[in-house]
């Protein structure tokens, strides 16, 4: 059995084995969470203008391409999964270009010229990409000075795979959020879908800020967004849903 530190250092894998499941589950324009929270949050963080160039790292089947193209910006998606990229090209060829590559070690490719991008994005992908420092350094390398990086992820302080969940305090009639660990970085195998299992990486918030700073990026904004409670939810459920953010968005700018 591999030691924990080796697993934590290992490079992340393509989502090829779960590609049909993921593309089917999320759908052509993204899941409910993509459409209602994650994509609007990313667009808000990036403030793209017409003619700007965006690199979407860990782009999957390219659900960010249409809203970026709608803004008149140029979209280039990069992913390790040739199967998800095939779906992306089938659905979104007119919205952008797609390149097969490892975001932690970008290929030499004419569409990925260092310094040629105004913006880069990790949309619900950074927690599936490892090592973190290499991925952030590659994003920084693509950006021009003053270029922006947007990160949208499950909130690493409250949504730690297998180490967090809801609890019920009978005495206070209160739904609470329970954390079983936080500061330890983890590589967590996710539920098996399709032909295999993927791995998700938990890192504490400080690791993200440290990786951004080490790559010459300054954090200029953070936005924490909660899920929307369902109309049928009980009062305690609604309160808990609104109180503990589901997503974290971070914006960083490449220093001149
Ligand atoms: C949860 S999916 C997110 C895809 C897309 N951003 C979305 O929101 O639908 C995570 C993606 O990260 C990709 N991935 C994992 N490791 C990678 C790496 N080192 N380089 C590029 N992509 C990677 C996987 O292939 C998968 O498509």
CATH number at residue 223: 3.40.50.150
Distance CA 43, CA 83 (A): 26
Q: Looking at the domain assignment, is residue 68 inside a domain? A: yes
- In our burial notation (b when 16+ CB lie closer than 10 A, e otherwise), range 187-198 reads beeeeebbeeeb
Q: Looking at the domain assignment, is residue 135 inside a domain? A: yes
Q: Looking at the domain assignment, is residue 26 inside a domain? A: yes
Backbone dihedral region of 252: left (phi > 0), alpha (psi from -120 to 50 degrees) or beta? beta
Distance CA 177, CA 240 (A): 8
On whether the CB atoms of residues 121 and 148 are closer than 8 A, the answer is no
Report the domain count for the chain.
1
Q: Looking at the domain assignment, is residue 108 inside a domain? A: yes
User: Which residues does residue 55 pair with via DSSP β-bridges, in sequence order?
Assistant: 76, 120
Q: Looking at the domain assignment, is residue 64 inside a domain? A: yes
pLDDT on residue 5: 77
pLDDT on residue 4: 63
pLDDT on residue 114: 98
Q: Looking at the domain assignment, is residue 112 inside a domain? A: yes
Report mean pLDDT in 10-residue bins for the chain, 256 residues. Answer: 72 93 94 97 98 98 98 98 98 98 97 98 98 98 98 98 96 96 94 84 98 98 96 94 98 96
- Domain residues for the domain of 103 are 4-157+204-231+247-254
Nearest to 34 by CA among 148, 124, 129: 124
Question: Best mutation site among 76, 80, 193 for ligand 1, i.e. most ligand atoms within 8 A of its Cβ?
Answer: 80
Q: Is 81 in the pocket of ligand 1 (CB under 6 A)?
A: yes
On whether the CB atoms of residues 144 and 115 are closer than 8 A, the answer is yes
pLDDT on residue 2: 54
Q: Is 198 in the pocket of ligand 1 (CB under 6 A)?
A: no
Q: Looking at the domain assignment, is residue 239 inside a domain? A: no
On whether the CB atoms of residues 149 and 121 are closer than 8 A, the answer is yes
How much helix, strand and coil, in percent to the nearest 5, is found in the chain? 30, 30, 40
Locate tokens 């860990």: which residue? Answer: 58
Q: Looking at the domain assignment, is residue 184 inside a domain? A: no
Distance (Å) from CA 199 to ligand 1 centroid = 11
């Amino acid at each position: 059995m591999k030691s924990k530190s080796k697993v934590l250092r290992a490079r992340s894998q393509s989502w090829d084995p779960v590609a049909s499941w993921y593309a089917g589950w999320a759908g052509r324009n993204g899941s409910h969470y993509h459409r209602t929270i994650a994509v609007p949050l990313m667009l808000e963080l990036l403030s793209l203008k017409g003619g700007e160039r965006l690199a979407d790292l860990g782009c999957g089947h390219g659900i960010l391409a249409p809203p970026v193209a709608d803004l008149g910006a140029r979209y280039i998606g990069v992913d390790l999964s040739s199967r998800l990229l095939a779906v992306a090209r089938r659905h979104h060829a007119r919205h952008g270009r797609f390149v097969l590559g490892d975001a932690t070690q970008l290929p030499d490719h004419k569409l990925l010229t260092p310094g040629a991008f105004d913006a880069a994005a990790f949309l619900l992908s950074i927690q599936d990409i490892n090592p973190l420092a290499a991925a952030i350094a590659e994003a920084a390398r693509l950006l021009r000075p003053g270029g922006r990086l947007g990160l949208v992820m499950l909130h690493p302080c409250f949504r730690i795979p297998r180490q967090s969940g809801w609890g019920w305090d009978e005495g206070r009639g209160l739904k609470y959020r329970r954390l079983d660990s936080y500061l330890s970085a983890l590589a967590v195998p996710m539920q098996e879908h399709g032909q295999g299992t993927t791995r998700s990486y938990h890192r504490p918030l400080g690791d993200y800020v440290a990786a951004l700073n080490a790559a010459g990026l300054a954090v200029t904004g953070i936005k924490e967004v909660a899920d929307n409670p369902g109309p049928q939810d009980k009062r305690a459920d609604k309160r808990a849903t609104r109180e503990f953010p589901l997503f974290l968005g971070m914006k960083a700018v490449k220093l001149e």
